[in-house]
Structure 1
């Protein structure tokens, strides 16, 4: 008897194409901005701006998740979630002006919570002593990514504080 050979699809292996997550995140972000700011081209303003805010959430969370795959315990995923909650409610409030302020406040506080957790992850409580003779070849890349994450967290914190103040003005 002949054995049945099953051909597998090698491209479905996530190690095969490590950049697909970044591409999906970038495409979601671009689609979000095109739909939010260019809604006149496509039609219905409110629906497209709500869809754009959903694409923004997918893009920011996906970007944070992909950065987290390359680094360890840096808070990128939490920063992405915090920024996505903040920008989602901003875009949603712009699309639906009658959104209650209490809902906006809840989203902003939730975003601040995640950004705070992300900042806390950058400063571990317990230092792990590593031997100095071991060099990681990705150290410069990891340092650059860490600076990008810190800049994003500071930006998210400023946006959340400004929105919190604008909520009561």
Structure 2
């Protein structure tokens, strides 16, 4: 499964825009184009445009989720995360899964948002380096910094709603 897809490749019976909007809301596809002002790679800083020549990326965790769903008929975020971490050679899989469960529970109560400080506390409790954990979860597409909340609330992360 590819990590990038173009607008032209998405053909859904005249409902391409609706499909893209849904996929973006669920953070299954993220527009490649970013704001020229901040150039941040945060999901909330991406610009969703419905036209030819636009590209969208599929986070790695979503590729694993979709692959597993095709095989099993079930949406299993933690199975996908475990497989993804295993394939990447991660040593602390059990601890990362434990921390991720805590992150998801906390974020669900807060509109899918969680402060970096809270992630750090969960990581330390589980014996995981907070910076490494955050970097790993970001690179997989499990979380993304919220660029619009940074100045007012400190570092806040958005949790990918497809993890639920």
TM-score by length of 2: 0.30
Greater relative contact order, per chain length (Cα 8 Å cut-off, separation 6+) = 2
Higher strand share: 2
Largest Rg, 1 or 2: 1
TM-score by length of 1: 0.29
Higher helix share: 1
